[in-house]
Amino acid sequence: MRALPFVLATLLLAPGCGGRSGSGAAPAGPHVLLVTVDTLRADHLGCYGYARDTSPALDALAREGVVFEQAFCTMPTTVPSHASIFTGTWPLVHGATSNFRRLDADADLAFLQRELADAGWRAAAFVSMEPLAKALDPFGGFEHIDRPAGHDRSSEEVVDAALAWLDAHDADTPFFLWLHLWDPHTPYRLHPDLMPRFRAGFVDDLQREHGFVAGHYDDASLAKMVDLYDNEVAHVDRELGRLLADLDRRGLGADTLVVVTSDHGESLDELYVAEGYAFDHGEFLYDHQLRVPLIVRSPDRGDGVAGAGARVARPFGLTDLAPTILAACGLDVPAAMHGEARPGDLAGRPEAGAEYVFVQRRIAGRQSARPFLVGDLVGARGPRHKLLRNLTVEAEELHANGREDRARPLDDAAAREALAAELDAWLAFLAGVRSAGGAPVDERTRGQLHGLGYVDEDDSVEEPDDAPEGGGDADGSGETGGPR
């Protein structure tokens, strides 16, 4: 296969030079591979400092590319976060504020896949979860969306489907492939050939529960659940290694912009003592649910991979991802994408700019009995601190980044004031572009989400004021959570 006539350095200096295809000719840009691994924490990968051997393939990719050390999702919930990745804006703008809400069809939105398709890329998606595919399907851009016949499917099946599509694809026409890999999501599956990396003689005698499950786990079973999570990460890493090796075998790897990230993280055992909460996401705007990996390998310019081995310390919100990909492909960034294009980061030349990311928590679903954690929760994360604001009960909490402790929020007036000003400015900006909210999903999709264990507004059960301190039901069963 001939190499694509793509010079990354030129495009990074002039991000608008690619323009629109229009003529029908193939654009002079890279192939693009975007992989979103559901529920993948950054700090459980070796390239982010984790001691366990969970991620040899991703660690190798990190050595060849750029690692974003502080990347954050917009909302720790699958459909809203993916919608933000593809639209370059926040859930309050695109309207999908829970898994049970559609994107707002009347909102002024642009979509990564549509921009690439309009410019001549062939776009195809391979998704593990049917409702996620359906969320983006109405907005066009993908010529093919490969989805499971049931609720969800494994990483092996998704990678197999993508490789089959490549078998039939003309590699002289740039492609945009999106793969969504589900496996690290609950319930964590055991992979017997991988588990010995983490625990010898592992016995799978666990009753897996997630969410507000006070009293369900003892210390030993909490540790074994973390082992299971890590063995799931290792499994997905192996499938990613297979995918990347196959691209190289086809002669496509050097011509492909590879982007690997996640829609959100996961609370493992960190909140179990304080909140009776474990192995879930969506309820808390804490770093273990918000911080995600972001590893990008740029095409080879002929003198080595651009930015190889670089690490970007400046915070990166996933609203910045679509604008950055478009800029790296030589395309203009639509005004409807509110994220920042940062193509210099991909070449190992980190761009200066804002040090803040803005996040929100979905309202839908069962929630903690603690008043501060019920209602409309938003946050601003700065270089050292995070300010959380509950718009429903008009309360705030200040935390040190990565050290959120609801029992002892910080009392630092200067830090609170600085973050409050940033949060106020963000909310004021949103007031001019905010969606009225997406419509509820149809009954079939609602049933599929229920089949995956998701909980929506209609299922939510308000807990009594005298609910146990750890969260969970008044009867102590703790059976209030569902995967997000």
Tell me the per-residue pLDDT of 105-164, one tens digit each, with 9 for 90 and over. Answer: 999 999 999 999 999 999 999 999 988 888 898 999 999 999 998 778 999 999 999 999
- The phi and psi torsions of 137 (rounded to 5 degrees) equal -55, -45
Torsion of CA 9, 10, 13, 19, to 10 degrees: -130
Q: For the sheet containing 294-297, what is the strand order?
A: 144-146, 122-126, 175-181, 31-37, 256-261, 294-297, 66-68, 310-312
Cβ contact 128:179 at 8 Å: no
State which H helix or E strand residue 58 sits in.
Answer: helix 56-64
Check residue 280 and report its DSSP letter: B
- Report residue 273 as tokens: 């003592």
Biggest alpha carbon distance in the chain? 68
DSSP reduced 3-state for 177: strand
How far apart CA 280 and CA 272 sit, in angstroms, is 11
Query: Burial level of 248, CB count in 10 A (0-12/13-18/19+)?
Result: exposed
How far apart CA 379 and CA 361 sit, in angstroms, is 9
How far apart CA 404 and CA 284 sit, in angstroms, is 10
Cβ contact 232:183 at 8 Å: yes
How far apart CA 410 and CA 418 sit, in angstroms, is 14
Check residue 26 and report its DSSP letter: P
How far apart CA 454 and CA 38 sit, in angstroms, is 14
Query: What is the per-residue pLDDT for 436?
Result: 80
How far apart CA 408 and CA 425 sit, in angstroms, is 27
Length, in residues, of the chain: 484
How far apart CA 34 and CA 32 sit, in angstroms, is 6
How far apart CA 449 and CA 187 sit, in angstroms, is 15
Cβ contact 451:151 at 8 Å: yes
Question: Which residue from 484, 454, 482 is spatially nearest to 208, judged by alpha carbons?
Answer: 482
State which H helix or E strand residue 32 sits in.
Answer: strand 31-37
- Report residue 350 as tokens: 């980190």
Upper half-sphere CA count for residue 277 (Cβ side, 13 Å)? 27
- The phi and psi torsions of 363 (rounded to 5 degrees) equal -90, -35
Check residue 151 and report its DSSP letter: S
- Report residue 15 as tokens: 């991000």
Using DSSP bridges, classify how beta strands 31-37 and 175-181 pair: parallel, antiparallel or unpaired: parallel
Contacts of 222 (CB under 8 A, 6+ apart): 269, 272, 278
Global pTM exceeds 0.85: yes
Query: What is the per-residue pLDDT for 366?
Result: 57
Q: Is 319 left (phi over 0), alpha (psi -120 to 50) or beta?
A: alpha
Residue pointed to by tokens 């099946």: 157
Query: Burial level of 479, CB count in 10 A (0-12/13-18/19+)?
Result: middle
Taking 50 as the pLDDT cut, the residues of the chain under it are: 1-23, 459-484
Check residue 278 and report its DSSP letter: E
How far apart CA 298 and CA 256 sit, in angstroms, is 7
Query: What is the per-residue pLDDT for 305?
Result: 57
- Report residue 30 as tokens: 């890279």
Tell me the per-residue pLDDT of 410-428, one tens digit each, with 9 for 90 and over. Answer: 999 999 999 999 999 999 9
Contacts of 349 (CB under 8 A, 6+ apart): 307
Angle at which helix 78-87 crosses helix 321-328, to 10 degrees, equals 40
CA Rg value for the chain: 22
Kindly state the percentage of the chain with pLDDT values over 90: 69
Question: Which residue from 305, 298, 327, 315 is spatially nearest to 352, judged by alpha carbons?
Answer: 315
- Report residue 264 as tokens: 């959100």
The single-letter code of the amino acid at 407 is A
